[in-house]
Structure 1
Amino acid sequence: MKISLGPLLYYWPRETIFAFYEAMAATPLDVVYLGETVCSRRHELRLADWLDIARMLQDAGKQAVLSTQVLIESGSDVSVLHKIADNAEFTVEANDMGAVRCLSGQTPGRPFVAGPHLNLYNAPSLQWMAQLGASRWVMPLEMAQDALAAMLVQRPAGLETEVFAYGRMPLAYSARCFTARHRNLPKDDCGFSCLEHADGLTLRTRESEDFLVLNGTQTQSARVYNLANELAAMRALGVDLVRLSPQSQHMAQIIALFDEARGPAQQPGGADYVQRMQPFMPDQPCNGYWFGRPGLEQGQAAGNAPNS
């Protein structure tokens, strides 16, 4: 089982981003997704910079993948999409159907990654995406393990499966910028407010409980989705990769613990890696979607109580 690092969902200063990926090059990651997927106004890095980082990671033995933006809103967004799709060096993760069309229409066709926002919820849609050229698909975030198991029974030959296994879940995207709205600023004159919130802006209930996180045009869960204790079960299902989402602090420690958890000796009901990760997490853990329950719940499979 491989470990991937998903695209950076937050807006960090240029120097911080370069330093972050230099540190990631020294970790046991197998795959790293790169690029701006949330908001085209985030201009600390251009495509040429992401390509430089991709080459650095490739030299460090990682597979670098370029991710496309989830919500395309302008002609300039379309232009960037075409540049990413036309690059001849790196695999591309398609995060909307426009990207799928660009990649599947190339001659000769190039394999691509079908991202988690393409809404692939059944076997026929998976078969169709594989026919278009997908070599890997990322399970929708809210899919339960039972639904995944049913899909994998009919998975097309050669199609890898990747599961979002750690991080605040990107739940929704909007044409509005909620971070700018929080400061009573228009989206087109936002003052790049996201730079002030390295892990997003927490939204709390009236009872002062963390509920959601505002991240520009993206809304995330406040709790951190963590499936570290489920890797043995995923391996049994046939999952090929688990995806971790970048956070501003302690990312190397999280990766190290996932690397330990994927070890061949791990069995269902083994060590409680989620508990060990809590000092390095920005909020409380959750895993409800995996078990077919409300996403903010934290539970475990019946009969699989951790030993430590």
Structure 2
Amino acid sequence: MQITLGPLLFFWPKQEVTAFYEKVAESGFDRIYLGEVVCSKRRELKLDDWLAIAKLLQAKGKEVVLSTLTLIEAESELAQVSKICENGTFVVEANDMAAVHYLAKAGVPFSTGPSVNLYSAEALQVLHRTGLKRWVLPVELSFEHLKLIMARLQELGITDLETEVFSYGYLPLAYSARCFTARTHELNKDSCEFSCIKSSAGIPLATQEGDALFTINGIQTLSGSCHNILDQWQAMESAGVKAMRLSGHSQDILKVADELVRAMGHGITAITSENQQCNGYWSGRPGISH
């Protein structure tokens, strides 16, 4: 079982991002996903900066994947996605069908992120024919649904497609043309003043009763609590899952990864310090359930 680090979903200053990945280079992660997947206005790091970090991680023995933007709203964003797809060095994770199109047209192997709505083995079969080598289960699907997909893939004779599961972090639930963070600061999206950088872990949104509901992250809506199914690693492994994805909302993600590495090494359940969790989707219940 591989342990992977998903793309950074929050907007951090360039210096903090660079320092973070220098630590990641010495961590137990096997594969690292890099790039801006939420908002094209977050330009603290340009593509050359991400490539420099990618080469640093690669030199430390890490597998590196470049992730593309999830919501495309302008020609300039489409051009940036195309540029990433044509990098020629690193595998690309497509987070929308435009990226899938570019990668399939180029005839290069690629992976898909959790935002690409692949809900059946037949859908996976279509993309597999165009070069799909790895997919990340959409976060709203259950373990039972996953097992049905995996069984059907076997029936279809698809045995070389890797499955990765989003296993820890705030769940990416939705994307919008509106920027909720800018609105919080009474700004419009076009003049947002890069408000996201003021909220390194997003803006918590609670119910009237005070319960965690969502986390606002620019145009992205995340879960209000941390999703944590790290203790399911043995069940996933038995089902044929090849990798567990962790998504960082703080520097503590390195500690979480180390705990998981130790748990796997000793054949025990992974333990983390998160108190509030939202694991409902995994067991087929409402996602907000513990």
Shorter-chain TM range is: over 0.9
| Equivalent position of 2:66 in the other structure | 66
Q: Contact 2:36/2:67 (CA < 8 Å) preserved in 1?
A: yes
Q: Contact 1:231/1:261 (CA < 8 Å) preserved in 2?
A: no
Q: Structure 1 regions of 5+ residues with no counterpart? A: 299-308
State the one-letter code of the partner of 1:294: P
Instruction: Identify the match of residue 115 of structure 1 among 113, 116, 127.
Output: 113
State the one-letter code of the partner of 1:186: N
| Equivalent position of 1:288 in the other structure | 280
Q: How does 1:94-105 map to 2 (within 5 A)?
A: 94-105=94-105
| Equivalent position of 1:228 in the other structure | 230
Structure 1 position 241 matched with structure 2 position 243: yes
- Deviation per CA, 1:164-206: give whole Å up to 9, x if none: 0000001000000000011110001011111111110001111
1: CA distance, partners of 2:276 / 2:258: 19
Q: Contact 1:8/1:36 (CA < 8 Å) preserved in 2?
A: yes
| Equivalent position of 1:15 in the other structure | 15
Q: Contact 2:181/2:218 (CA < 8 Å) preserved in 1?
A: yes
CA shift for structure 1 position 75: 1.1
CA shift for structure 1 position 96: 0.5
2: CA distance, partners of 1:211 / 1:296: 8
2: CA distance, partners of 1:179 / 1:63: 33
1: CA distance, partners of 2:212 / 2:283: 22
1: CA distance, partners of 2:90 / 2:4: 15
Q: Contact 1:114/1:129 (CA < 8 Å) preserved in 2?
A: no
1: CA distance, partners of 2:145 / 2:210: 34
- Deviation per CA, 1:87-122: give whole Å up to 9, x if none: 11100000100000000001xx11000211111101
2: CA distance, partners of 1:57 / 1:202: 32
Relative to the length of structure 1, the TM-score reads 0.91
Structure 1 stretch displaced more, 252-261 or 2-11:
252-261
2: CA distance, partners of 1:186 / 1:94: 29
| Equivalent position of 2:253 in the other structure | 251
State the one-letter code of the partner of 1:125: A
Instruction: Identify the match of residue 153 of structure 1 among 151, 154, 176.
Output: 151
State the one-letter code of the partner of 2:150: L
CA shift for structure 1 position 259: 1.2
Q: Contact 1:95/1:117 (CA < 8 Å) preserved in 2?
A: yes
| Equivalent position of 1:144 in the other structure | 142
Instruction: Identify the match of residue 211 of structure 2 among 209, 216, 223.
Output: 209
SS of equivalent to 2:288: coil
Q: Contact 2:20/2:251 (CA < 8 Å) preserved in 1?
A: no
State the one-letter code of the partner of 1:57: L
State the one-letter code of the partner of 2:209: E
CA shift for structure 1 position 154: 2.5
- Deviation per CA, 1:222-279: give whole Å up to 9, x if none: 110001110000000000000000122312111111212333x52xxx54x3xx412x
1: CA distance, partners of 2:63 / 2:95: 18
Structure 1 position 277 matched with structure 2 position 277: no
Instruction: Identify the match of residue 177 of structure 1 among 162, 176, 179.
Output: 179
How many residue pairs align between the two structures?
286
Identity %: 46
- Deviation per CA, 1:68-91: give whole Å up to 9, x if none: 000011111011111101111100
Instruction: Identify the match of residue 187 of structure 1 among 186, 189, 200.
Output: 189
State the one-letter code of the partner of 2:56: M
SS of equivalent to 2:73: coil
2: CA distance, partners of 1:149 / 1:17: 36
State the one-letter code of the partner of 2:174: A
2: CA distance, partners of 1:261 / 1:125: 34
